[in-house]
Structure 1
Amino acid sequence: MSSSPRTHAAPAATPTNACTVTPAGAAWLTSAETYPQGLLADWRARPTAPAVLPCGTVFDVVSVDAVFGRRMVDRLWHEGPGSGPVATHRGRVLLFTAPGTARRLPSLLRWEEWSPAVPSLLCHGAGDAVTVPPLTPRHDLDDRLASRWLVAPDTRSPRLPGPEVVLWACVRAARTAARSAVRISIFPRGDQSAKVYDVSRRR
């Protein structure tokens, strides 16, 4: 089965202020809550604290192994339409996706021949909640475990990838991993870790 994003005119540009949550982005995040204004006021009063937000109405979240997740983000920004907000939390990458993605993605992935090469995905949708990074990052925590934004929300209406686009990114990341494994097996190197891609870098 071959998967491709629905719209794929040209590689997306890397966001200029990828790690900065704007006021509009904070308003979008808190709109997932029943009483968003109260939460937004509390969050602004403690901007270095993470927040727990419900999924299923404003966004779904797909949680992926850190290395594989960064490969997915790499493919989305270099070959695809870009991503919605992306965060890291406790060593995993959190992809913010369109509502309904958590329900459809697992069944789509089961049909894909590359699915055995995709690490276990945790799909959070209706009835679930996730911890999102603080508005202002803390620098006194272990960076490997700290919650932080890779692509922070910066608008009240971010373009969120749906299940087909996320599936496409999974397949591309799996192919990249397979090619890397072949190269490593033929040309062994001292450091065989995957390339770490941070979309906050400037071009």
Structure 2
Amino acid sequence: MTDWLPETPRNPAFPTAAYVTLAGADWLASSSPHPGSVHTLWAERPTAPSVLPCGAVFDVINAPALFGRRMVDRLWSAGPGSGPVAVHRGRLLLFAAPGTAQRLPALLAWEEWAAAVPPLLCHGGGDAVTVPPLHPRPRTPGTAAGDDPAGTAASRWLVAPDVRDPWLPGPDVLLWACVGAARGTLEADREGARAHPESAAQPLDAAVT
């Protein structure tokens, strides 16, 4: 069982940066064989998502939004923090050290909590991912926070790249986060069942009526 946390640098607080800095943009672009073309695309379409290759500069662990957020919360509350984190189409993208996409599934296979971890998409060499725009599109004046007809909130940075060489978690750290998130989910479900023992024991036909 993975209860230990590999020794890695701790970060003092959960960041809220939603904007990619120039240094962060350089880092993202360096994943492409043609970084100049990537910068040109961003200059022409600054509010559009873009596709970047994985494997050389970073891998990406793609998790369901709720479980991924629990992983990130654990990384920041009790662990070393995270690398860049993005949301795209209802999934959480955790940027990880190259090689993580290959090693994490193998490590999870040995964990007793693996069955409680939802399917993760691990993007490494030969894969590509869609990343959010460098800067979120401004909301139209007069629209509510939940009113997003263009779907721009579905693609955004939770932890935006802000340095040229960001620290990225490896497979050991993300394994620890996965196990912690899975255990937390099961414990929350058990607490919910204890809080409503009568409804849980109610026969199906009685519940229907």
Both proteins in one fold, TM over 0.5: yes
Residue 40 (structure 1) aligns with: 39
CA distance in 2, matches of 1:13, 1:4: 21
User: Quick one: structure 1 residues 133 and 9, their matched pair in 2 at CA, closer, same or farther if it must change by over 3 Å?
Assistant: closer
Stretches (4+) displaced over 6 A: none
Q: Which amino acid aligns with 1:5?
A: L
- Closer, same or farther in 2 for the Cα pair 1:3/1:163, shift >3 Å? farther
Shift of 1:137: 1.1
Distance 2:123 2:184 in 1: 25
* TM-score normalised by length of structure 2: 0.84
Larger Rg: 2
Equivalent residue number for residue 157 of structure 1: 165
Q: Residues of 1 paired with 2:152 and 2:37: CA distance? A: 30
Per the alignment, residue 178 of structure 1 pairs with 186
Q: Deviations over 1:79-104 (max 9, x none)?
A: 00000000011101000000000000
CA shift at 1:9, angstroms?
6.9
Report the alpha carbon displacement of residue 13 of structure 1 after superposing the two structures with TM: 1.6
- In the alignment, what sits opposite 1:87? 86
Does the residue aligned with 1:157 lie in a helix, a strand or coil?
Answer: coil
| 5+ long unaligned stretches in structure 2 | 140-147, 197-209
Say if 1:12 and 1:80, in contact at 8 Å, map to a contact too.
no
Match of 1:142 among 148, 151, 154: 151
**Identity level (%):** 60
Contact map agreement 1:4 1:165 (CA 8 A) in 2:
no
Write the letter of the residue equivalent to 1:142. G
State the alpha-carbon separation in 2 of the partners of residues 21 and 6 from structure 1: 28
RMSD: 1.6
Name whichever structure is richer in helix by fraction: 2
Task: Give the aligned partner of residue 73 of structure 1.
Answer: 72
1:41 to partner: Cα distance: 2.2
- Cα distance between partner residues in 2 of 1:59 and 1:174: 24
Distance 1:59 1:19, change over 3 A: same
